[in-house]
Amino acid sequence: MKILILYTYNKGLLSEFFQELSEKLYSDGFDVDNFYLKNKSVFFTQNGVSIYGEKRRGFFSNYKAIYKVIKHSQPDVVISNFSYINPAVLFGKLLGVKRNIAWFHTAFGHTKPNLLKVWNKTVYLNMADVVLANSKSLQHEMHSVYKVSKEKIKRVPFWTNIVNYQNDTHALPIERSGDIINIGCPGRLVADKNHSLVIRAMHQLKQSREQLFHLYIAGSGIYEHQLQQLVKKLNLEQDVTFLGLLDVSAMTEFYKTMDVVVLPSLHEAFGLVFIETIALGTPVLVSNAFGALSFIDVEKFPLEDFCFNPESIQELINKLSLFIETKGLKSQYFKFMYEQTFEKEHIYNQIKSIILDQNGTT
């Protein structure tokens, strides 16, 4: 069986997920091609997988490139995500692809598309044979917003390989004294990521706590200036550090040097940053809006122990106070949660069964 996977090839962990998925499929006897659009045209083979890259140009040129790779590859199955979905589904149908899988992992509440975009995506998603979603909430959106039939929608999570990255250089300007509680808040600096909630919680906590604690914000984005102004307004310049955009290696150092990570997003279709955090055993407080939470066995790991309402500063303060007082959940709890919930081989077998049109997870 020939499989073509279209995704953005880069040094990020999401890209690595699709690379490893491709290589595991190849090891299981499938013929696998990858395709992506970027800054130049290339072709190379990586661990048995043929990887085609075309230069990103205008709308029609990009669509033409995707048409050409599907025609050249002649796959039995096409898997696509993000901006690749529409042309991959369209040309897959035209060229007789037997099974066209659209992997959709962007929450409606996060992007807030207009009616025309919703209609456009509705047309293409309904042309797909299968739509993969990464959470119950996104699965619901596929049906309620984009009118995809429930029978077409399958739900599977991601895994992460962040544990394979080591950074012992201690290059980040992070205080490593046992006298200071390090609080981390990673993510793109946009309003929807809700960093301001954590900054305001820090301000209130400092009014009633003698324990020293410091907030480290990892990421970049259009909201950075507003956040810096908020820090200044609340007189927290000595208590908050903006680290900027970090690569994967630096992020492992970031996670490992935090006593607790706070993830306050208002909308997260899945939330790779959550599973990265717990994979490394870093304690975390996470917004209850994260789609990845829907995969957790709440009998073993009650969500109220580490989740909070992202619109409630008091709820975050109450949870964060436990870590400042060193009474929060320990590292092993979160590492065990990852192992029990996002085990690689289990997820891979779910995806493979969907590719083979067997009974996938719904």
Q: Is the pLDDT of residue 339 over 90?
A: yes
pLDDT, residue 299, reads 97
Tell me whether residue 362 is in a domain.
no
Are residue 260 and residue 131 in the same domain, yes or no? no
If asked whether residues 211 and 142 sit together in one domain, one would say no
Position with higher pLDDT, 210 vs 93:
93
Residues 123 and 181 in one domain: no
Cα 319 to Cα 260: distance, rounded to the nearest angstrom: 11
- List, in order, residues 6 or more apart from 227 with CB less than 8 Å away: 189, 195, 196, 199, 217, 242
pLDDT in tens, 22-46: 999 999 999 999 999 999 999 999 9
Number of domains in the chain: 2
CA dihedral 181, 186, 191, 196 (to 10 degrees): 0
Handedness of CA 114, 120, 123, 129 (dihedral sign): negative
Six-digit token string for 13 = 């962990």
For residue range 211-270, what is the model confidence (pLDDT) as tens digits? 899 999 999 999 999 999 999 999 999 999 999 999 999 999 999 999 999 999 999 999
Which pLDDT belongs to residue 329? 97
Give the model's pLDDT for residue 108: 57
Same-domain pairing of 167 and 139:
no
The DSSP output letter for 47 is T
- pLDDT one-digit tens code per residue, 95-135: 999 999 999 887 655 556 788 988 999 999 999 999 999 99
The answer to whether residues 95 and 24 belong to one domain is yes
What pLDDT is recorded for position 67?
98
148 shares its domain with 234: no
Number of H helices, E strands in the chain: 13, 14
pTM of the model: 0.92
DSSP 329: P
Question: Is the same domain home to 337 and 347?
Answer: no
Which of 28-32, 48-52, 205-209, 284-288 shows the lowest mean pLDDT across its residues? 205-209
Q: Is residue 360 part of a domain?
A: no
Q: Please state, in angstroms and as integers, the Cα–Cα distance from residue 23 to each residue in 32, 49, 54, 269, 351, following that order.
A: 8, 6, 21, 26, 13
% of the chain with per-residue pLDDT over 90: 87
Asked whether residue 223 falls in the same domain as residue 91, the answer is: no
Burial readout 5-39 (b: 16 or more C-beta within 10 A, e: otherwise): bbbebeeebbebbbbebbbbbbeeebbbbbbbbee
In this structure, the answer to whether residues 314 and 351 fall within a common structural domain is no
pLDDT classification of 359: cutoffs 50, 70, 90: low
pLDDT digits (tens, 9 = 90+) for 314-325: 999 999 999 999
**Domain match, 89 and 187 both:** no
86: containing domain: 2-159+343-355
CATH number at residue 114: 3.40.50.2000
Give one DSSP letter per residue of 330-357, joined into a string: PHHHHHHHHHHH--HHHHHHHHHHHHTT
Separation CA 109–CA 286 (nearest Å): 18
